[in-house]
């Protein structure tokens, strides 16, 4: 029986092809793992408020003595309308990478920050614990112009949507009121996205909340303004000084 002998050049080509296809397989597996992480850490904690704004679950903790659960949601200040009324808050439920339903809860608005476009909401439900909450970035994160960022929300009150873009800068603007500091980034947003979150990935590969969606500029797509994480920490220190974020697992 004759035996096929490959020349060194063919062996090299075969090894290159094997390495390429192996790398593709590894990358595909990594992509799937990252998408699962995105779904859990970003999409799974994004809620719809009254059908016209977005918000993010930043705290859910069960009291060891009473057993009561406290769940807090961060949103934009301009989303807090009719502050004394009950608020409808819908949570996405995933199955096989699809939102199969949205569980509805009743909440209330705890307050609106006087110094930035932020508001804090609380569920009236004291029994349901949410094991996954958004991870807040450090108060002074290291951000590079051009690094990848993601924004998530319910544009136009429709389906939950995540959009990828680039971080541009931290800058002072006279939008809303003079001398306000914002993060500027390119993910496309629309009315209804307000109150959703801006994320980046830290060195460990985890998604961290950088800011809250405040506004897009009419006539300038891919130009969004976000209330930065430093203002979020400042607000939480005033609004909820006793809570620990992220909370310890029960």
Mean pLDDT of 57-86: 94
Complete domains list, the chain, with CATH: 43-134+234-239 (2.40.10.10), 148-230 (2.40.10.10)
Mean pLDDT of 97-123: 91
Question: Counting beta carbons within 10 angstroms of the beta carbon of residue 117, is it exposed (0 to 12), middle (13 to 18) or buried (19 or more)?
Answer: buried
Burial 71-103 (b: 16+ CB within 10 A, else e): bbbbbbbbbbeeeeeebebbbbeeeeeeeeeee
Q: Are 199 and 151 in contact (CB under 8 A)?
A: yes
Rounded to two decimals, the pTM is 0.84
C-alpha span between 235 and 231 (Å, rounded): 6
pLDDT above 90 as % of the chain: 56
Find the range with the poorest average confidence among 84-88, 137-141, 145-149, 219-223: 219-223
Mean residue pLDDT of the chain comes to 83
Phi and psi, residue 141, nearest 5°: -70, 155
Mean pLDDT of 145-151: 95
Find the range with the poorest average confidence among 81-85, 118-122, 156-160: 156-160
Q: Is the pLDDT of residue 159 over 80?
A: yes
C-alpha span between 16 and 209 (Å, rounded): 40
Neighbouring CB atoms inside 10 A of 41's CB total 19
Q: Is the pLDDT of residue 27 over 80?
A: no
In this prediction, residue 122 carries a pLDDT of 96
Task: Provide the pLDDT confidence category of residue 1 given band limits of 50, 70 and 90.
Answer: very low
């Amino acid at each position: 029986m004759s035996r096929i002998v490959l020349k060194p050049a063919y062996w090299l080509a075969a090894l290159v092809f094997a390495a390429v296809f192996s790398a593709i397989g590894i990358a595909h597996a990594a992509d799937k793992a990252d998408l699962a992480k995105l779904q859990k850490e970003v999409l799974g904690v994004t809620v719809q408020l009254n059908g016209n704004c977005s918000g993010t679950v930043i705290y859910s903790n069960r009291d060891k003595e009473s057993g009561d659960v406290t769940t807090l949601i961060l949103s934009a200040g301009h989303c807090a309308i009719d502050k004394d009324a009950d608020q409808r808050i819908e949570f996405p439920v995933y199955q096989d990478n699809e939102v199969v339903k949205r569980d509805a809860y009743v909440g209330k608005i705890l307050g609106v920050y006087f110094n930035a476009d932020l508001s804090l909401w609380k569920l009236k439900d004291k029994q349901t614990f949410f094991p996954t909450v958004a991870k807040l970035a450090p108060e002074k994160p290291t951000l590079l112009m051009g690094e990848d960022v993601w924004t998530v929300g319910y544009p136009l009150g429709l389906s939950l949507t995540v959009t990828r873009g680039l971080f541009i800068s931290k800058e002072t603007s006279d939008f809303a009121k003079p001398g306000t500091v914002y993060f500027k980034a390119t993910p496309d947003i629309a009315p209804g996205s307000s109150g959703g979150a801006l994320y980046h990935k830290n060195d460990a590969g985890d998604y961290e909340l950088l800011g809250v969606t405040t506004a897009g500029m009419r006539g300038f797509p891919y130009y969004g303004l976000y209330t930065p994480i430093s203002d979020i920490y400042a607000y939480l220190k005033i609004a909820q000084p006793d809570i620990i974020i992220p909370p310890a697992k029960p």
